[in-house]
Amino acid sequence: MNLKSTKFQFTILTILLLFFMLLNISFGSVNIPFKDVILSFFGDTSIKENWVYIIQDYRLPKTLTAILVGSGLSISGLLMQTLFRNPLAGPFVLGISSGASLGVALLILGASLFGASFSALAFSNFGLAIAASLGAFLVMLAVMLVAQKVRNTMSILIIGLMFGSLTTAIISVLAYFSSAQELQQFMFWSFGSLGNLSWNELLLFFVIYLIGILLVITIIKPLNTLLLGENYAKSLGVNLKRTKNITLITTAILTGVITAFSGPIAFIGLAVPHLAKMIFNTSNHKILLPASFIIGAIVMLISDTIAQLPNSEYTLPINAITSLFGAPIVIWLLVGKRKTY
C-alpha cells in the first residue's frame, strides 16, 4: 500500500535498465565508450564508422532482443505461477520449450534422413525458427487440447510436464542415431542466442510480443482475484474459463515467439517473478507485471553482457550464464527472506 516507495523502486529500476542497456551496447569484443554510444544515437558523424555499424546492425538489435526475451519470459512465468498457484511453475510448463526442441531436433538430427536439400535448410536461422515455432505450436496445441478435458487446473501442469518428458524421450532416440556434428549443432541451438536477428526479424518479433503484452493487460484484474483461489474468484464474478484461456494463450504467444527467435532460454521465467515479489513485497499484478518486465529485461541484459566476455572474442552460452549467476542469487535472497510466493 506504500505508493511512494513503490514509485521510488520503479524509478531506480528504470534507471538501472537504461544503464544496463548502455553497458550492454558498449561492451563486447570491441569496447565502445558510453559517450560514443550515446552520441551515435544522435547521428553524430565524428564517431568511427565501423563503431556505428557495430552498434546499429549488431549491438542494438541484440540489446532490444535481450529486453524482449527477458521481459516476455518473466511475464509468462508470473502468469503461470499465478494460474497454477505454484511457485515452481514457469513459462515452459505448457510444453513450449520441449516442443520447440523437438522441432529443431527433428530438423537438425533428422536432416540426414531426409537428404541434402533439407540439411541446407537446417543450417539457416530461418529454418531453425520455423522448426521451433512449428514444434512449439504443435506440442502446445496438444497440451491445450488435453487441458480442455480436465477440470482441475493442477492437472494441466502435470500434463505439460508429461508432454515434456515425451518429447525429451523422442529427442534422446534421435540423438542416439545422429552424427557428432549434428549433435553439436543441436546443442548450440539449445544454448540459446540473442544475436543474429536482423531488424526485419526483430520487427516481426516485436509485433507478436506486443499482442501478447496487450492481452496480459486485459487480465490484470482477474489475475488478482485468482490469488484467492478459483472458487472465490468465481464467487466474485470472474469468468474462470475465459481468464484461464487468455492466460494460457498469452503465455503461448510470448514464450512461443521468444523460443522461436532465441532458443529455449532457461531460468529467467522462473526466477524473475520471485525477484519481483521479493523486491516489491506485494502480490498485486498491477505492480508485479511491470516489475517483472523491468527486472526481466535487466537480468537478461546483465547475463548477455557477461556472456559476451568483454574484450574477448569468445561468447559463452547465454543459457549457462542465466542459471550460473542467477540461481545462487535467488537462493541467497530466499534464505534471507522468510517466504515469497
Partner 1 sequence: MESIIETTNLKIGYKIRKKQAVIAQNINIKVSTAKLIALIGENGIGKSTLLRTLSKVQPKLDGNISIHSKKIENYTVAELSKNISIVLTEKIPASNLTVYELIALGRQTYTNWLGALTNDDKSKIDNAIELCKIKDLKTKKIDELSDGQYQKMMIARALAQDTKIILLDEPTAHLDINNKIEIFKLLKDLVEKEQKLIVVSTHELQLALHTCNDLWLITNTEFLCDTTKNHIKKGSLNKMVRSEYVTFDKIKEQFIFQ
The contact set with partner 1 (CB under 8 A) reads 1, 85, 218, 220-221, 224-225, 227-229, 231-232, 234-239, 277, 281-284, 286, 339-341
- Residue 165 host element (H or E): helix 153-176
Taking the complex as a whole, the smallest distance from the CB of residue 159 to partner 1 amounts, in Å, to 19
Contact 67, 300 (CB under 8 A): yes
Residue 259's identity, in one-letter code, is T
Closest CB to partner 1 among residues 38, 220:
220
Taking the complex as a whole, the smallest distance from the CB of residue 103 to partner 1 amounts, in Å, to 35
Residue 309's identity, in one-letter code, is L
Taking the complex as a whole, the smallest distance from the CB of residue 284 to partner 1 amounts, in Å, to 7
Taking the complex as a whole, the smallest distance from the CB of residue 75 to partner 1 amounts, in Å, to 17
Closest CB to partner 1 among residues 125, 218:
218
Taking the complex as a whole, the smallest distance from the CB of residue 286 to partner 1 amounts, in Å, to 7
Closest CB to partner 1 among residues 178, 250:
250
Taking the complex as a whole, the smallest distance from the CB of residue 251 to partner 1 amounts, in Å, to 19
3-state secondary structure the chain: CCHHHHHHHHHHHHHHHHHHHHHHHHCCCCCCCHHHHHHHHCCCCCCCHHHHHHHHHHHHHHHHHHHHHHHHHHHHHHHHHHHHCCCCCCHHHHCHHHHHHHHHHHHHHCHHHHCHHHHHHHCCHHHHHHHHHHHHHHHHHHHHHHHHHCCCHHHHHHHHHHHHHHHHHHHHHHHHCCCHHHHHHHHHHHHCCCCCCCHHHHHHHHHHHHHHHHHHHHCHHHHHHHCCCHHHHHHCCCCHHHHHHHHHHHHHHHHHHHHHHHCCCCCHHHHHHHHHHHHHCCCCHHHHHHHHHHHHHHHHHHHHHHHCCCCCCCCCCHHHHHHHHHHHHHHHHHHHCCCCC
Closest CB to partner 1 among residues 85, 195:
85
Closest CB to partner 1 among residues 20, 280:
280
Closest CB to partner 1 among residues 163, 280:
280
Closest CB to partner 1 among residues 8, 232:
232
Closest CB to partner 1 among residues 30, 279:
279
Taking the complex as a whole, the smallest distance from the CB of residue 293 to partner 1 amounts, in Å, to 16
Lookup: cell for 115:
537428404
Taking the complex as a whole, the smallest distance from the CB of residue 51 to partner 1 amounts, in Å, to 44
Lookup: cell for 333:
535472497
